[in-house]
Amino acid sequence: MKFSKKRISTVGALVTSLALMTSACGGSGTIGSSSSGGGNSGGKVTVTFLPKNLGNPYFDTSDKGGKEAVSEFGGTFQEVGPDAASPDAQVPFINTAAQQGVKALVISANDPKAIGSALTQARSAGTKVVTFDSDTEPQYRDLFVNQASAEGIAKVEVDMVTKLIKDSGEVAILSAAANATNQNAWIKLMKADLAKNHPNVKLVDTVYGNDDDQTSFDKTAALLQSHPNLKGIISPTTVGIAAAARYISTSKSKGKVVVTGLGTPNQMRKYVKDGTVQEFALWNPADLGYLAAYAGKALADKKITGKKGDTFTAGKLGKYTVGADNTVLLGDPFVFDKSNIDKFKF
Amino acid sequence: MSETSTQREPSSVDTGTAPIVHPSSRSPMNRVLTTVVRSREIAIALALLLVIAATTVTTPSFLFSSNSWRDLLLTPAILILLAVGEAVVVITRNVDLSVGSTLAITAYLTGRLFVDQPGIPIVVVFLAGIVVGGALGLVNGLLVALGRVPALVITLGTLYIYRGLVLTWAGSNRINASDMPDGFLGLGTKTILSIPVLTIIAVVVLAVVGYFLYTSRSGRDMYAIGSDPEAAKLYGLKVRQRVVGAFVLSGALAGLSGVLYAARYGTISSGAGVGIELQAVGAVVIGGVAIFGGSGTVWGAAIGAVLLVTINRALPILGIQDFWQQAVVGALILGAIVLDRVLSARRSRKLIEARDAS
Amino acid sequence: MTMTRSYPAHAHPLWRRVLMTREVAVIALLVVVVLWASATIPNFSGPLTFPFLILDSAPILLIALPMTLVIVTGEIDLSVASVVGLSSVLVGMLHQDGMSIPLAGLIALVVGVLCGLLNGFLVAYVGLPSLAVTIGTLALYRGVAVGLLGTTAVTDFPFKWTNLIQQGFAGGRLPFVLVPIVVLAVVFAALLHFTSFGRGLFDIGLNAEAAHFSGVNVARTKLTVFVLAGAVSAFAGVYYTLRYGSARGDNATGLELQVIAAVLLGGVSIFGGRGALHGVLGGVLLIAVISSALRLENVTVNVINIIIGLLLVLSVMSTSLLGWASKMRRGAGVRGDHARPQKRRVTSSPLQ
């Protein structure tokens, strides 16, 4: 047999794949220019929100705020995200946004560096990048919208826990993912604050719940088992504090181990009312998302470039000025407790 | 027991020649003891006790604080159910990799039922979980039996499909503990005579399935099918029906474990049970069920499940970061199958020697 | 009394033998999907689609090559994704300790080879079923990867490298990673289809005993394919790390399912003994194109996974059903091998 069928098929396949490649390469222009067609028609600004992960009530609220802002200024809103808050999971979504020619990408980063190359590529394709809640390294984004200063957030949590355990005893931190930029920044400041101002309070452990409810639940159980003298748990993540409160409220440690940190009123209401949690702090995530969306629009419309001193108006929140490091601050953290928790519905 | 004894009475047919295998010269008591000692199930039960002992020596609160006695018995309950179902499937020379996704579907279904139908009786929810799980298992079974495609591939596909279904259904919604009635959640931690209710359920299921597998016709058929599917078919066994039945059982138990999952953890997201099929297969293999079917018991699988879970819980207390859990599971699986292979090679060599010697 | 009959060399004409194969069907489907997507989905025919498609599916493309060899011999390797994760972790840790990326990658490759050696030894020489072994090593290798790094990710990779991965020839339209992909594809295709080693693989897949008796060193051949799988998976791990800029213990979890789905979709029989590499490439690209097109339409990953799962099940069932159908057509006179629907070729043989 001179021509085995396999050889013919192989040649045929090569020809076909060459045809495929040529057709796929047929798009106009090079990578550098923004692609035509698709997501934008006329002057409409497409804004894509890419939180750390979907299924997180905190981001559900922030993205809702963003959606409200986008419909206010007549843009198109999209929300995408991975299921698990891992550093590499956001890359495909950034790529897709670049492909779709999205005008502004609003992202809460799972890691300060890992998505850098993808963001750089998106920006060279014409997308403006705004980070919110959790930052990347400054060179990868156009603007960072921070909920409050990191020092302010760290301080309020340390103040709450030390007050509740009467300034002496063992505490532990239940954080989100090990790489998360924001939590790590706050933890660093909390450690410094504790060392400097609260000598009788000892931080015995830092564990990571990965912003996954089950993991945080199990980690709380493990903490209580390995540190029988633990008096307080700080959880600077809304998923972690909800899981920790849920575990402690049905265990023998209720009332003996204090739970505090950053939480949403809706998730914490039950535990504040039953006494597991005395107080906790947060800001309004909806405002954060709202502000970030307006920042994205201002960048996309080329009204600002994101450098220090730029000002823009964010709808009902008013005027904001960009500070150092291309950062905009929303405001100060707010402390929730039994007396005011019913006033808030997020 | 998982091992056929090497000493057997001679057949009653008089062939006129000396029997190939001589009657045992040991006393019955001796034989029972040897079978027990050689049994795989006892071996891993001993391993389990060893692990518990070692950990308790280091940290007495592992066993003796009231929370941990409850946790010790409670945490394996779900894996026991999954391991029992998986064991039945593996005994028929198949494998079911979709149990984790089935668990997620029924767990979310449980939550949804409580949220959308307030006041629904808990029994109905249990039944719904079992039925839905059984239906999902039926799909697997039909595809394997009728399509004559290896179960590995089918259940790999359904793992994806079912997981995708629950992800699409749930989206990023999550059922919170506050959405479910306290009576149901209480089941997750309630104890009767200091034994958790969930564990009682698991043990009852284990006993029923074990009894059925060992004594009933269809149960014995499963072993036959696993030993040699071709021979079973030629012999006239209803191979297809049994295989479908095995998968339905596996699915139903996975469904039941989904309901238990909801009771135990209270919060259900679409990520429930990811990766648990690996632990189920691991428990089964460690428990002495041969991966090519035909031997093993559900008791072994259950003890294997308890052993796995206990090791996982013991690791952090022994100072090993719980990150190494999966490596331990993998090492145990490899060790178990190598051990099985060595033992069976030795056994067949002994049989050949016995045959050649006569 | 002699009777001579002349039999045609083949049962079907050449064009039918070439075009009515599973592999060509997959490639044809691929072309159809590409054309349809270009016409209906905005941005699909944009310049970024092809590079991203290649960048995203490169690990699957790479690993599908040795996986084809493994499945052709009738075995399976479920541990490939764990090797990717382990290799990724090693690159991250070694780089963190100051080692250069190329050297770290080399060490990761060596470890990949060792992983493959363990798999191959247990399957080929100890005689264990590959399903059980690779389920165990899936857990073991992934466990070691996670154990080494925990849940932290090493993300401090030089921009020079992570950016290089994104760039390519022709203004970035042909990513650099295409070079190793094409080279390896050619090498594996040659190995599988044009060497005696490759023919040995098919023989082992059809009947290992017979292959052994015809002189194929079954054990060594099986060991080799597992080692190849380990090595290529490790290489894919280095790529993955640099592409996503993140080395983490749970990188590429679940990748083995996508690889197997692509390989089976491409016409390789799960029972072994049948398959061709161009079909596998078609299968990988088909899944990649479908995923890319759906993602552009903001279809969530879960739905994409459902579709891949369905494709997997349908493709394997179709092989089974087609084989059953053709057996029905030919009449079940010959002792049918129920587990192996094969195409029979009528070869010329003089009848006396």
From the CA of B292, how many Å to the nearest CA of chain C?
Answer: 8
Where are the domains positioned within chain C? 54-320
Sole residue written with tokens 């051949």:
C221
How many beta carbons lie within 10 A of that of residue C4, not counting itself? 7
Q: Which residue of chain A has the CA closest to C19?
A: A9
How many angstroms separate the CA atoms of B59 and A171, rounded? 21
A228 contacts B269? CB cut-off 8 A: no
**Residue among A1, A3, A5, A54 with most chain C CBs within 10 A, to mutate:** A5
- Interchain contact C318–B (C-beta under 8 A): no
Contact A328, A145 (CB under 8 A): yes
Question: What architecture (CATH level 2) is domain C54-320?
Answer: Orthogonal Bundle (1.10)
Q: Does A213 touch chain B (CB under 8 A)?
A: yes
CATH code: domain B58-316 is 1.10.3470
Contact A225 B174 (CB under 8 A): no
- What superfamily in CATH does domain A46-147+285-330 come from? Response regulator (3.40.50.2300)
- Cβ contact (<8 Å) for C246 and A114? yes
**Does residue B5 surpass a pLDDT of 60?**
no
Confirm if B318 and B58 have CB atoms less than 8 A apart: yes
Distance from CA of C292 to the nearest CA of B (A): 17
Domain boundaries, chain A: 46-147+285-330, 150-282
Tokens of A44: 């409409």
A64 touches chain B (CB under 8 A): no
Best B71, B176, B189 residue to mutate vs chain A (most A CBs within 10 Å): B176
Tokens of A92: 């495909």
Nearest to A54 among B172, B267, B317 (CB): B172
Higher pLDDT, A343 or C237: C237
* Strand-strand pairing, A104-107 and A46-50: parallel
pTM over 0.90: no
Using the Cβ of B167 and the Cβ atoms of chain C, whether some distance falls under 8 Å is answered with yes
Indicate the domain borders of chain B. Answer: 58-316, 325-358
Residue C186 in contact with partner chain B when CB distance is under 8 A = no
The ipTM value here is 0.81
Q: How far apart are CA C257 and CA B159, in angstroms?
A: 10
Provide the pLDDT for residue A333. 86
The secondary structure element, H or E, covering residue A156 is helix A150-164
Q: Which of A20, A78, A100 sits opposite C31 (nearest CB)?
A: A20
pLDDT score at C1: 54
Chain-centroid distance of CA C111 in Å reads 20
Per-residue pLDDT tens over the stretch B119-151: 888 899 999 999 999 999 999 999 998 877 889
Torsion of CA C104, C109, C110, C112, to 10 degrees: 130
Q: Which residue has the higher pLDDT, C162 or C105?
A: C105
pLDDT of residue A23: 41
H helices within chain B, ranges in order? 28-38, 40-58, 61-64, 66-74, 76-91, 99-116, 122-147, 151-170, 182-189, 197-215, 217-227, 229-235, 239-265, 276-286, 298-317, 325-357
Most confident of A86-100, A191-205, A320-334, C330-344: A191-205
Q: What share of chain C is helix, strand, coil (3-state, %, to 5)?
A: 70, 0, 30
Residues near C43 by beta carbon (within 8 Å), at least 6 away in sequence: A35, A37, A38, A39, A99, A100, A101, C49, C296
Containing B196, the helix (H) or strand (E) segment is strand B195-196
B252 pLDDT higher than 90: yes
Q: 3-class secondary structure for A127-141? A: CEEEEECCCCCHHHC
Please state the rounded mean pLDDT for residues C153-182. Answer: 84
From CA C347, how far away is CA C327, in angstroms rounded?
18
**DSSP assigned state of A319:** E
Nearest CA distance, A27 vs chain B (angstrom):
33
User: Residue B86 is which amino acid?
Assistant: E
Q: What is the pLDDT of residues B26-84, one digit of tens each?
A: 788 887 877 776 778 888 888 888 888 888 887 777 777 666 777 778 889 999 999 99
Q: Which of A117, A208, A212, A218 to mutate to test the interface with C (most CBs of C within 10 A)?
A: A117
List the single range of A67-71, A214-218, B177-181, C144-148 with lowest mean pLDDT: B177-181
Q: Within an 8 Å CB–CB cutoff, is residue A180 touching chain C?
A: no
Q: Which tokens in the block code for residue B10?
A: 């001679």
**Residue A70 — left, alpha, or beta (φ > 0 → left; ψ -120 to 50 → alpha)?**
alpha
- The C-alpha atoms of residue A242 and residue A220 are separated, in whole angstroms, by 11
CB atoms within 10 A of CB B175: 22
pLDDT, residue B84, reads 96
Note whether A226 contacts B: Cβ–Cβ < 8 A. yes
Distance from CA of C118 to the nearest CA of B (A): 11
What are the DSSP calls for B282-320, one per residue? Answer: HHHHHTT--TTSS---HHHHHHHHHHHHHHHHHHHHTT-
Phi first, then psi, for residue C186 (nearest 5°) are -65, -45
Mean residue pLDDT of chain C comes to: 86
Nearest to A291 by CA among A48, A62, A126: A62
B113 or A8: whose pLDDT is higher? B113
C275–chain A nearest CA distance, Å: 10
pLDDT digits (tens, 9 = 90+) for A300-331: 988 888 888 888 888 888 888 888 888 888 88
A25 part of contact set with chain C, CB < 8 Å: yes
CA B228/CA B174 separation, integer angstroms? 45
Fill in the DSSP letter of residue A342: G
Q: What is the pLDDT of residue C184?
A: 95
Q: Give the right CATH number for A150-282 from 3.30.565.10, 3.40.50.970, 3.40.50.2300, 3.40.50.2020.
A: 3.40.50.2300
Cβ of C287 under 8 Å from any chain B Cβ?
A: no
CB C114 within 8 A of CB C230: yes
Whether A217 and chain B come into contact, CB under 8 Å, resolves to yes
User: Is the Cβ of A205 closer than 8 Å to some Cβ of chain B?
Assistant: no
Tokens representing C134 are: 């690779």
All residues of chain C having their beta carbon less than 8 Å from the beta carbon of residue B292 are 129
* A13 vs C170, C251, C278: nearest CB: C278
- Give the best-scoring range by mean pLDDT among A5-9, A282-286, B89-93, B263-267: B89-93
Considering chain B, what percentage of its residues have pLDDT values greater than 90? Answer: 37
Q: B interface toward A at CB cutoff 8 Å?
A: 61, 66-68, 71, 167, 171-174, 176-178, 189, 265-267, 269-272, 316-317, 322
| Token pair in block for residue A165 | 């355990």
**Best residue in C88, C161, C239, C278 to probe A by mutation, most A CBs within 10 Å?**
C278
What tokens appear for B340 in the block?
């099985």
pLDDT at A5 over 50: no
Those of residues 73-132 in B touching chain C at CB distance below 8 A are 95
Q: B168-182, C121-135, C167-181 — which is least confidently predicted? A: B168-182
From B264, B221, B224, select the one nearest B103 (Cα to Cα). Answer: B264
Binary contact (C285, A17; C-beta < 8 A): yes
**Residues A23, C52: C-beta atoms closer than 8 Å:** no
CB-based burial of residue C142 (10 Å sphere; 0-12 exposed, 13-18 middle, 19+ buried)? Answer: buried
Is A150-282 in the same CATH topology as A46-147+285-330? yes
Which of B:268-327 have CB within 8 Å of C?
270, 278, 281-282, 285, 291-292, 321, 323-327
CA-closest candidate to residue B122, choices B201, B183, B199? B183
pLDDT band at C200 (very low <50, low <70, confident <90, very high): very high
Phi and psi of B59, rounded to 5°?
-135, 95
Instruction: Output the average pLDDT for chain B.
Output: 85
Q: Is the dihedral of CA A131, A137, A138, A141 positive or negative?
A: negative
Question: Chain C contact for B234, CB < 8 A?
Answer: no
Record the tokens describing residue C47, joined without a space: 């310049």
Residue numbers in C near A99 (CB within 8 A): 43, 46, 48-49, 52, 296
d(CA B43, CA A249): 40
